[in-house]
Each structure stands twice: as structure tokens, then as C-alpha cells.
Amino acid sequence: QLISELKKLRKQITEMEKTKTKLNKANIVVQEALEYAESIVETVRESLIVIDADLRVISANRSFYKTFKVTQEEIKGQLLYELSNRQWDIPKLRELLEDILPKNTMFADFEVEQDFKNIGQRTMLLNARRIYREANKKQMILLAIEDITDRKRIEEKARKIHQELVEAHENLQKAYKEEKNLRDKLIQSEKLASLGLMGAKIAHEINNPLSVISGRAQMGMDMDTSEKVKKTFNIIFKEAKRIGNISSTYRNLSRPTPPKMENVNMNEILEECVENLETTGVIKHYEVKKYLQPNLPEVTGDRERLIQVFNNLIVNASHAMIDKEVKILTLESSVSKDSKFVEVSVKDTGCGIKKEKIEKIFEIYYTTKPDGLGTGLGLVVVKDIIEKQHKGRILVESEVNKGTTFTIKLPIKRKAKSKILIVDDDAYIRELFTDYFERKGLDVFEAQNGKEALQYYESIQPDIILSDVQMPVMDGFELAEKVRAKNPEQKIFLMTGLYFEHDIMKKLEKSNIKHFTNPPDFSVVWKMISEELKR
């Protein structure tokens, strides 16, 4: 029995030795795997750091120590948030890390841009996940940190280069369009010059017969005949005169003469055009609707040339409606929303113009009319008169088979008189300056203190404010400050009789506001005011 037990024991020892051999081999494999894994971890360029459930540092790889210029002794056991002057203490990052273990989550591409201790301003890209050590049942977090600062800089540089290329392309396209416009204008100018030479020859040929027609019409108006006949002669005379003006216009295309500018009411121009064209039968069978704004501001223009423009547009509108059942001509006048222009529109219910042809209608010899109704010259002249001679604009809106609207925008006539606001609590001083500046041709407004002047300011919009310094309620300095806050370009003068008070004069000098003393030397005052008005 003893021998039997010894055999069993020997067998067990043999099996244990085999098991030990296997364990040794397994340990070697594990050790090799561990060393292999560690070599990989130490070799990767990304910074890796392992933290426990309390977010304390367990270990880090060589790249981490190198990137952040720290040692193992400095960080091991430390809270992640306490590293690098607490640069990792970011609320959103804390929230993400604290959710990983209890919720078994992970996160990727979390971007951090901070000023880190030892390495300065950097941009880091973070990825994190749960890792588990089976041996001690311990849960940990692996945090991978990639320094993308250089990549971000390259991307930003690439973005800027791309933006510069886009802008360069846009500028190139713009330059090409400008060059094309200049080339087109040059061609147009050459055509207009040749047209002008032809117009000069035509004007010379028709001048004598036109003089006869005009003279006979004037004689007819003096004859003892009915008012109806006299009116007819008057129309003949006006139209003969207009023919002369039209031929002069074509001649002027090669050698322009300045327009005869005067104050013009565009409502009167439209009324005259309609009356003449109705009398001559051009729009006799058309329904004419007029929506003309009362008290329309005047424009500065050449009356005859503006009549020529609207005669042309109305005749064009009538031609566009020849084959239409509904023939409605609508004329409108109004002031633009910005109050800078008078807008006059001529609208028809005609055939309309195709979108691709709208830009061509102002080209010389281009016409959309049937043979016999158009020369392709009318709108060329219209554009020249409005845009070159009157600094206005022409807008065209059209829809095929519905009609066309031409809108002419002409600058409203500027008031000749400049406006000055006198601010003084002394009524006699206000009266003195009012009399003086009215004699100089200015529109004068008065206020008895700064507060009242501010109330009037928006409605008056003065070119010059002339204010006393010392006033009740609001003085001149406060007025100047509040006005300049509204309009930094406002011209302001201050005046004072307290030239002996050092504080007042010092404040005037410091304010950088032009000023003079009372009693005033009007020659000096006017020189200062007139120089400002000229600027």
C-alpha cells in the first residue's frame, strides 16, 4: 500500500512539474506580450495616459512626458485636473470622463485649446475609453492625446490661401467685366461719333425746309382765324422746333453741347408730352392713366431734351401695344424712398421684351420693333440724355406678353440756400445774426438754448450750427457734444463774450471746435462760415 501511495505521489509531482512548465511558458508568453504592448505604447507618437476611477494618474507613455515636458514622479497619483496649472480642468471634459466607467461610454475628437505650462498655447485632440484589468478586477480610463496644433495652423493657412484664391478669382472676373464694359463703351462711343457726323449732315439738309415750316406756323398763329386753327399752328411750330432739337441731339453725339439746365417740373413734362401725342394721334386710341404725385419736387434739367426722352418712351410704348386688345399707357411720378430722386415711369401693356434682350436695347441700331417702326437710335439717345447729361438712371422691367415699364430717376434739385441754426438765449443777438446771414443768402433758423436746438436739429438738418457757449438749460459745449454724437461731420461754431475767463477759453481750445468772440467781427465770422460752406 505504501508503494502504491508513493507511485500516486510521484505521478502528482510529475503532473505538477508539467503544469509548472506550462505556467512558466505561459508567463513567458504573457511577459513577451506585455513587453510587446509596452513597446508599442512607448513607440506611438500620441500621448497616452491611464487614470483610475478617481481620475488620478496611474501611468503615462514616453510621448506624454516628452510632449508636456514632465516626469513620472511629477504626475503619478495626481488628479488629472491638477496637472499643468489646471489646464485640464474643463467642465465638459470632466463630464465626459466621469461618465466613461459608470456608463461604459467613450468619446472621440474632443478638441482642447489651452495655454499649457512648459509648452505654451497648443491645440489637443482627445479620445478616451474604458480599459479593464482582469487580474485585479480594476477599471481604468485610457486617454489618448494628439497634438494637432501644427495641423490646425496648416489648415488655417490653407483656408486663407483658398480664400485669397477665391478673392483673386473674383477680382479677375470683376476686372474682366470692367475691361469688357470699357471696350463696349468705346465701341458705343465710336458708333455714336459716326452717328453724330451723320446727324450733322442731316441737320444741315433739313435746316432750311424746317425753317420754312416753323416760320409759316408762326405766321399762321398771327392770322385772324379760329382758336382751333391757331392751336394747330402752335403744335406745328412746337413740333418743328422739336425736330430741330432732335437733329441737334444726334449732331451732339459726336460733339456734345452742354444741356440748358433750368428748374423743371416732371409732371408738366409728362402732361405736355401726352397732350402733344394725343393731338398728333400717336396715342389717340389708347387708354392713358396718370398717377402724378402732387407738389412734386423740381429737378434740374434741359426741358426740351427731357420732353424728347418721354416722347420717345411713350411712342415706344404705343408701338409695343399696336397688336394688343388691351392698350393701357400708365404714367407715374413720385419721390424715391430716400428722397434723393424724382422717379417717373412709363408703363405699357404691350408685347414685352425677353430677358436676354433687355441689356441690348440701349445698343446703337438695336431694335425689337417691326420694320418701319424703329431705327435702333431712340433709346441710345434716351440713355445719353438721362445718364450722361442729367446724372440720372434708367431702369427697365419687362415680362413677355404682359408689358414693359421704363423708370427714369432724376436727382431732386438741391436748394441753393445753405441752412444755419443760430442758438443763443439773447433774443437781440439771435435777431442780429439772423438779419446778417439772411442778407448773405442763407436760410436762418433760431433756438434759444441747446435743448431747443436739439429738438429742431433733425427736421432742419442745418449746414452750420452757430451757438453761444453760456446758456441756460443746455450750454453750447453740451449741444456740440450731443450733435456730434448724432452726426460727427456736423459743422459747429461756438461764440462767447467771456474771452477774459481763462477756464472758458481753455475749454474752447481743448474742444477743437472753431470759435470766435462777442461782439463779433462780421468780416471774420463770414470768412470762417463761408469757407466751411464751400467744403
The separation between the first and the last C-alpha atoms of the chain, rounded to the nearest angstrom, is 132
Question: Is a pLDDT exceeding 80 seen at residue 31?
Answer: no
User: What CA–CA distance (Å, rounded) separates 456 from 462?
Assistant: 9
Specify the higher pLDDT residue, 132 or 331: 331
- Mean pLDDT, to the nearest integer, of 480-486? 89
114's enclosing H/E stretch is strand 107-116
Fold of 258-411: Heat Shock Protein 90 (3.30.565)
d(CA 79, CA 51): 9
Which run of H or E residues covers position 445? strand 443-447
Share of the chain above pLDDT 90, in %: 17
Q: What superfamily in CATH does domain 44-147 come from?
A: PAS domain (3.30.450.20)
Residue 307 has a pLDDT of 92
Q: Which CATH superfamily is domain 419-534 in?
A: Response regulator (3.40.50.2300)
Model confidence pLDDT, tens digit, residues 356-394: 888 888 876 556 555 444 444 578 888 888 988 888 999
Query: Which has the higher per-residue pLDDT, 175 or 53?
Result: 53
Structural domain spans, the chain: 1-42, 44-147, 258-411, 419-534
Per-residue model confidence (pLDDT) at position 253: 56
Q: Residue 128 pLDDT > 60, yes or no?
A: yes
Q: Is residue 197 over pLDDT 60?
A: no
Predicted pLDDT at 402: 92
Is the whole model's pTM more than 0.75, yes or no? no
Q: What is the pLDDT of residue 372?
A: 44
Other Cβ atoms within 10 Å of 493 Cβ, number:
19
Q: How many CB atoms lie within 10 A of CB 349?
A: 21
Taking a C-beta distance cutoff of 8 angstroms, is the pair 324, 350 a contact?
A: yes
- Angle at 346 (CA atoms; ends 341, 350), nearest 5 degrees: 150
> Of residues 317 and 257, which shows the higher confidence score?
317
Rounded mean pLDDT, 243-270:
73
pLDDT in tens, 46-83: 888 898 988 999 888 888 888 888 888 888 999 988 88
Do the bridges between strand 287-292 and strand 138-147 make them parallel or antiparallel, or are there none, so unpaired? unpaired
- The 3-state DSSP class for residue 449 equals coil
Burial of 230 (0-12, 13-18, 19+ CB in 10 A): middle
| Other residues' Cβ atoms within 10 Å of the Cβ of residue 102 | 10
Q: Which H or E run includes 393?
A: strand 393-399
DSSP 81: G
Mean pLDDT along residues 19-47: 65
